[in-house]
Amino acid sequence: MTQFKSNGILIECIQGNIAEQPDMAAIVNASNAQLRTGGGVAGAIHRGAGPGLAAECREFAPIRPGQAIITGAHRLPNRHVIHCLGPVYGVDEPSDELLASCFRNALKLAEENDVESIAFPAISTGVFGFPLQSAAKIALKTVLDVLPDLARVNHIRFVLFSDVDLQVFAETLSASTKA
């Protein structure tokens, strides 16, 4: 299943580019500790936002695994970018808990900043090596656990880069929402 609605909050999984989500108030960056540009998600977001984003990020760096910070989106069509540092799999421990913290902290910042819609990539599953299936379970369980506490956010989108990744998230969403 690619969509699930509960208490008026929509969770959806789509295939796409995180830097091309103009209908979302905030997009989430899978960042590095220094909040600089990089490969994958960080590269796409910094390229889209332009140099102002790295300049705004400078004062917040470095961040720790599991932490999230919020900035403007500069030349991107969104209002905010929320930058999360995921755990490097097998290095930053406990990696499950640190990955869950990324999602919890990003949603907390969204609530505090009046963000009604937020798009997440599959944090840590690229360069940082987190197995996709475990990461999908943690991401979706964390978001589902937080749903009852959300007052402002009403739309949470997972943007997966490949068809296969989308399939894993969609299957995990079905499994996680079975009564």
Interaction site with ligand AR6 (CB under 6 A): 17-19, 30, 32, 38-42, 44, 86, 121-128, 159, 161, 165
**Shortest Å, Cβ 145 to ligand AR6:** 21
Question: How far is it, in rounded angstroms, from Cα 123 to Cα 102?
Answer: 8
Question: How would you classify residue 164: left for phi > 0, otherwise alpha for psi between -120 and 50, otherwise beta?
Answer: alpha
**Shortest Å, Cβ 123 to ligand AR6:** 5
- Cβ proximity to ligand AR6: between 31 and 148 the closer is 31
Question: Phi and psi at residue 106, in whole multiples of 5°?
Answer: -65, -40
Question: How far is it, in rounded angstroms, from Cα 116 to Cα 44?
Answer: 23
**Shortest Å, Cβ 10 to ligand AR6:** 19
| Other C-beta atoms lying within 10 Å of the C-beta of residue 43 | 12
- Cβ proximity to ligand AR6: between 70 and 132 the closer is 132
- Cβ proximity to ligand AR6: between 5 and 39 the closer is 39
